[in-house]
Structure 1
Amino acid sequence: MTNQRNQSDSPRQKSGKAIGKSNAKPSWSYLVRIFFLVLAFCVSSCIDQIEFPLNLGDERLIVSGQLTNLNEPQYVYLSETTSADREPIFTGGYFTINDLPRPVSNASITLVSSEGGAWGYSEREPGTYVLNSFPGVKAGVSYSISISVAGRTYRSEPEMMPQVIGSDEVSYSFDRGVFKDQPETAFISVHTEVTLPEATGGYYLRWDVDEVYYWNLTFFPNPFNKPPPDCYVFGFPDPERITLLNGDLLNRPGGQSSQTVAERVIDQSFLSRHYFNVKQLSISKASYDYWSKVRELVNNTGSVFDAPPAPIRGNLSNVADPGEVVLGYFEVARAKVTRIYTTKADVPFFIEEVCTYAPDRNINSYPRTCLSCSEFKNSTGVTPPWWFDQ
Structure 2
Amino acid sequence: MRKKYFYLILILLFEACITPYEIEVEEGKQLLTIDGMITNGPGPHSVKLSKSTTYGSVFEGVILPERSAKVFVRDEFGEITYLTEDINERGVYRSPEDFSAIVGSSYTLNIQLSNGSKYVSLPEVVKPAIPIENFSIVAEEIPVEGELFNDSGAGIYVDFKDPGDENNFYFWRNEPAIYELNTRPDLYYPPKSLTPAPKPCCYTCYLEEEVGNYEIFLTNDDNFNGLNTRFKAAFIKDDGLRFISTFRVDINQLSISADAYRYLRLVKQQIELTGSVFDPPPANIRGNMISLDDPDEVVLGFFIAAGESKKRIYINREDLEFRQPDFTIADDCRVVEGATVIPPDDWLN
Question: Normalising by structure 1, what TM-score?
Answer: 0.68
Structure 2 unaligned regions, length at least 5: 1-25, 189-196
Residue 171 (structure 1) shift: 1.7
**CA contact 1:82–1:99 (8 Å) conserved in 2:** no
Q: What one-letter code is carried by the residue in structure 2 that aligns with 1:131?
A: S
Partners of 1:79 and 1:228 in 2: how far apart? 40
Residue 312 (structure 1) shift: 0.3
Structure 1 partner of 2:34:
63
Counterpart of 2:150 in 1: which secondary structure? strand
What is the CA deviation profile of residues 321-359 of structure 1, one whole-angstrom value per residue up to 9, with x for unaligned ones? 1111111111001111223222344454463342245xx
Query: Which residue of the other structure, out of 172, 180, 186, is the alignment partner of 1:214?
Result: 180
Instruction: Provide closer, same or farther for how the CA distance between residues 326 and 231 of structure 1 changes in structure 2, counting only shifts above 3 A.
Output: same
Query: Larger relative CO (CA 8 A, sep 6+): 1 or 2?
Result: 1
How many residue pairs match? The answer is: 306
Q: What one-letter code is carried by the residue in structure 2 that aligns with 1:132?
A: P
**CA contact 2:74–2:107 (8 Å) conserved in 1:** yes
Q: Is residue 162 of structure 2 the alignment partner of residue 197 of structure 1?
A: yes
| Greater Cα shift, 137-146 or 319-328 | 137-146
Partners of 1:313 and 1:127 in 2: how far apart? 20
Partners of 2:33 and 2:131 in 1: how far apart? 30
Structure 2 partner of 1:145:
109
Residue 145 (structure 1) shift: 1.1
Q: Is residue 216 of structure 2 the alignment partner of residue 242 of structure 1?
A: yes
Partners of 1:380 and 1:226 in 2: how far apart? 13
**CA contact 1:232–1:383 (8 Å) conserved in 2:** no
What is the CA deviation profile of residues 154-208 of structure 1, one whole-angstrom value per residue up to 9, with x for unaligned ones? 1111111102424252222225572466443251231324323222332110111
Alpha-carbon RMSD = 3.3
Partners of 1:168 and 1:183 in 2: how far apart? 39
Instruction: Provide closer, same or farther for how the CA distance between residues 317 and 172 of structure 1 changes in structure 2, counting only shifts above 3 A.
Output: same
**CA contact 1:63–1:76 (8 Å) conserved in 2:** yes
Q: What one-letter code is carried by the residue in structure 2 that aligns with 1:69?
A: N
Partners of 1:208 and 1:387 in 2: how far apart? 21
Q: Is residue 208 of structure 2 the alignment partner of residue 233 of structure 1?
A: yes
Partners of 1:129 and 1:237 in 2: how far apart? 21
Q: How high is the sequence identity, in percent, across the aligned residues?
A: 23
Alignment of 1:164-313 (within 5 A): 164-175=129-140, 178-179=143-144, 182-210=147-175, 211-216=177-182, 219=185, 227=202, 230-238=205-213, 240-247=214-221, 249-250=222-223, 252-259=225-232, 261-301=234-274, 309-313=282-286
Partners of 2:246 and 2:30 in 1: how far apart? 42
**CA contact 1:60–1:326 (8 Å) conserved in 2:** yes
Alignment of 1:86-105 (within 5 A): 98-105=60-67
Partners of 1:189 and 1:345 in 2: how far apart? 12
**CA contact 2:34–2:49 (8 Å) conserved in 1:** yes
What is the CA deviation profile of residues 10-39 of structure 1, one whole-angstrom value per residue up to 9, with x for unaligned ones? xxxxxxxxxxxxxxxxxxxxxxxxxxxxxx
**CA contact 2:286–2:298 (8 Å) conserved in 1:** yes
Counterpart of 2:243 in 1: which secondary structure? helix
Q: Is residue 299 of structure 2 the alignment partner of residue 326 of structure 1?
A: yes
Structure 1 partner of 2:48:
77
Partners of 1:341 and 1:182 in 2: how far apart? 30
Structure 2 partner of 1:109:
71
Structure 1 unaligned regions, length at least 5: 1-54, 87-96, 358-365
Partners of 2:142 and 2:72 in 1: how far apart? 49
**CA contact 1:82–1:102 (8 Å) conserved in 2:** no
**CA contact 2:205–2:334 (8 Å) conserved in 1:** no
Highest Rg: 1 or 2? 2
Question: Normalising by structure 2, what TM-score?
Answer: 0.76
Partners of 1:328 and 1:111 in 2: how far apart? 16
| Greater Cα shift, 139-148 or 183-192 | 183-192
**CA contact 2:139–2:155 (8 Å) conserved in 1:** no
Counterpart of 1:290 in 2: which secondary structure? helix
Partners of 2:208 and 2:280 in 1: how far apart? 30
Partners of 2:339 and 2:57 in 1: how far apart? 36
